[in-house]
Structure 1
């Protein structure tokens, strides 16, 4: 991928996409596969916000059954299977344990009925070519076996547990990037650090205006550009309403922003994830991930600017109280927290708008509830209600259903363009996903690259899938680089230097945190240490021409991201 906003400003696109998270990435991938000329613009780095701040799950949404959202559950379960098929190196089965208490709503009978329905709705879950990806139906555990598996469970009233299956992602930020790389391979042009500051419009026939493109500020050079497109898609996630407001100061659709924090700690549950209910804070997950455990997530309305998102010490303290209430045997303390991160869920606000009172707040605004708000998405055409033609907003939704949301967006865009083409993302491997059986592919790759340690090759397959040879080829691009770039960044860590250089030369990494967090995963399990951060910075600095001041600024900025923010 090469970044060239000047060239993009000289091109007219069928589709201009605002937002480089998974919704925008999936839309670019889908539209490019269908033959549209696509531009994608992201104001920060690709996948920098909600996409990477998730629980790493691809799941059907078992708890949505309680709200009667069978359509959303069925959609999610179908999409879970599709992600397993098209991204076999990224999406893997994960067994969940849910304890049962008493014989009422939290007991085995009610939960068993819910899981029976969940399995029925996922009737196609094993339509997969890789047997390792197939998901068994749920099963019940006795009280004794439940405690053997999870000794930290509350014992009072415990009647046993249920085991069911969902999936998790190895690296959501990489999967998002692979959708973007797939779009680029099909002819799309993309740019990160390119902030859309407004829309260009012209008078429409009849009434209103037609959006003809976007104004873009290049965060790297400071230059301004205009990118023209026949249809513009707002896929800005938590910023979607702010993007809509550029076209209409009082947009017809609003968002509820929900803040979710996660903590990472030592291995607590082995190969099983836990779904736990706390009396003081709703449900949370305990999820095994790369030899550690992710615990998440909170779900609180976030009314500040999404650019100001962070984790406070109070956030961690409050969440630990919830976790220790749900799993009293853990006795987790602040010292157990190795890392933490936050994300914002953009939820469609379905509450009726009311005229604000004297304090500027309506009764409905005060009653916002992010936990019980639907995770369903909306594809909104601004032409009928607001007389703004050529603008589509993709609002809300969840990681699992992002591909299907993109399909609906592109269907509408094609209709506006007067063209037809079938969606192919449900049966096309993502960039790096072209392999039959993952275990077989890993074994063959380790044999083919026997000059590298097996854990290095396995990590390369996890991150790049079937494209690992392209990454390793970067080590041969300049004379004398190969030996140095094939070395580990740090002892015991499978990441090697060529991944850093490849990220700069071919994956549009412009800042140190792009590589530490979103290209290599070096920082996703916590601070890898100043020496590792410095080594990565020096590799990037040689590629990007950083002087000592730039190098120091990049390092200090990245290291700050491992710290909590001041409480408000």
Structure 2
């Protein structure tokens, strides 16, 4: 996967996708599989925002039953099964504990009815290729069993618990990138750090305008490019209505409610089970086991500022700790228990009329359903489609609907294949057997290293390791761990640069290797990664300092007010001041 905006500007495309999150990635993958010539453009790094800022769940949305969104729940449950089959190294069943209280909506009988309906809607949940991924129906456990599994539960009124199953992603940002790599394998071109800031208007007629492509700024060189395509899909996530406004020359026809969701990561506190908890002061949240740690999330508050400015403040953490301790009083969570945190923005479709009053701005109860908006019949803008809203779980199906509309506009027909085609790296069969075979094939590597490679790259493990052979004499050094307590190899950094468009330290730490997703791996590890990247990309000391300073922002809470990039040109000592040893 190579980045080449010069080549892309000289190519005629059937489809240009703006946005490199999971919606854009899935659309590019689907369209490429159906034979379209596709360009994918992302202004930052792939999967940098909402896609990586999720709860890492692929789930049916149990609480959507309360809102009567049966169609969305059924769609989500079907898509959950499809992701299990097409990304078997990435998507795994996860048991959830749901405590029961009293005689109301939280009571055992009421929740049993809801969960029975949930199981009924997932009637095809065990049509999976790996028996280890089969999901049982819900079951009830006693009060004593519930407290044994999760001692921090609120005890007053506790009558027992239900255990049901959903699924978890090992690394959502990697899964997104694999969809892009799959699209590239089938002929698509992709570029990160390629900012679309205007559209090419081919003609203006009595019936309206036609979009003939996009104007793109290369954020590395500052050079502008024009990339032409017959159809443009706006899949910009939280920025989708802003991009829509550029096309429409003012107020967008559809608006988004931006919901800010923060997650905190702590030491392991939940065992092998996840926990779904209702807090009286802050709605519901999940407690989720992940990589030997626990993710607690998420908040759900309206964010009215520029989506580029979203961040986590100390007040955010303080408020969320209060919510968690209200829902789990026995946990007694403190600020020092948090080892890392991250934030994402959910783009929710605002149902208020475009020219009417603002919507209710209730992000918690707003629908997670998506909308595919064709600008031609309503706005008179031909050649532009916008994807609004949606959720991680249903992104593949949303992409199918988008691609169907694109093909109709192009006067072509081809069936969707993403529901039965493994993602890039997904052709592994039974996961446990594949891991065992990979460990036997690579006895020179530690078992945990090989398992981590399989979970990250699936069937492409050998391709990643082959990067170590690209330059004679480097193999031994590249097959070493980056740090004693991390199962990540130096060759993964090289592979990310040479074959996955990683251009910045944060790309490698957060979206290619996972080194930074549990908090700072420490300055020695970061220094090793920087040294490798500097050799590959030709960074000088100033560039190194800037890269470290920018990466450190992901480990720090946001100061009040707008946050400026004030480390440009800083010394190496200043830039590394926040890195933990």
Pairwise TM-score range, normalised by the shorter structure? over 0.9
For residue 277 of structure 2, give the secondary structure of its aligned residue in structure 1.
Answer: strand
Tell me, in whole angstroms, the C-alpha distance in 2 between the residues paired with 1:221 and 1:321. Answer: 46
Unaligned runs of 5+ in 2: 562-581
2:452 to 452, 459, 470: 459
CA shift for structure 1 position 206: 4.6
Residue aligning to 2:190: 190
Residue aligning to 2:502: 509
Tell me, in whole angstroms, the C-alpha distance in 2 between the residues paired with 1:377 and 1:204. Answer: 30
For residue 561 of structure 1, give the secondary structure of its aligned residue in structure 2.
Answer: helix
Matched, 1:207 2:200: no
Residues 189-338 of structure 1 mapped to structure 2, 5 A cutoff: 189-203=189-203, 206-248=206-248, 249-338=250-339
Matched, 1:497 2:497: no
TM-score normalised by L of structure 2: 0.96
Contact residue 381 and residue 393 of structure 1 kept, 8 A: yes
Matched, 1:344 2:337: no
Residue aligning to 1:521: 514
Tell me, in whole angstroms, the C-alpha distance in 2 between the residues paired with 1:388 and 1:226. Answer: 19
Residue aligning to 2:152: 152
CA shift for structure 1 position 548: 1.4
Residue aligning to 2:465: 472
Residues 528-547 of structure 1 mapped to structure 2, 5 A cutoff: 528-547=521-540
Contact residue 253 and residue 354 of structure 2 kept, 8 A: no
Per-residue CA distance 1:498-520 (angstroms, 9 max, x = gap)? 00000000000000000000000
TM-score normalised by L of structure 1: 0.98
For residue 125 of structure 1, give the secondary structure of its aligned residue in structure 2.
Answer: coil
Contact residue 264 and residue 292 of structure 1 kept, 8 A: yes
Per-residue CA distance 1:263-306 (angstroms, 9 max, x = gap)? 00011110000000000000000000001000000000000100
Residues 11-410 of structure 1 mapped to structure 2, 5 A cutoff: 11-203=11-203, 206-248=206-248, 249-353=250-354, 362=357, 364-365=358-359, 367-410=360-403
Per-residue CA distance 1:216-244 (angstroms, 9 max, x = gap)? 00001111000000000000000000110
For residue 371 of structure 2, give the secondary structure of its aligned residue in structure 1.
Answer: strand
CA shift for structure 1 position 152: 0.6
Tell me, in whole angstroms, the C-alpha distance in 2 between the residues paired with 1:49 and 1:78. Answer: 25
Contact residue 234 and residue 240 of structure 1 kept, 8 A: yes
Tell me, in whole angstroms, the C-alpha distance in 2 between the residues paired with 1:563 and 1:548. Answer: 23
1:415 to 408, 411, 428: 408
2:474 to 481, 484, 487: 481
Contact residue 262 and residue 295 of structure 1 kept, 8 A: yes
Tell me, in whole angstroms, the C-alpha distance in 1 between the residues paired with 2:165 and 2:287. Answer: 14
Tell me, in whole angstroms, the C-alpha distance in 1 between the residues paired with 2:285 and 2:350. Answer: 23
Tell me, in whole angstroms, the C-alpha distance in 2 between the residues paired with 1:104 and 1:191. Answer: 52
Tell me, in whole angstroms, the C-alpha distance in 1 between the residues paired with 2:560 and 2:158. Answer: 37
Contact residue 287 and residue 294 of structure 1 kept, 8 A: yes
When residues 445 and 546 of structure 1 are mapped into structure 2, their CA distance, relative to the original with a 3 A threshold, is same
Matched, 1:565 2:558: yes
Unaligned runs of 5+ in 1: 356-361
Aligned-CA RMSD value:
0.9
Tell me, in whole angstroms, the C-alpha distance in 2 between the residues paired with 1:280 and 1:354. Answer: 34
Contact residue 29 and residue 182 of structure 1 kept, 8 A: yes
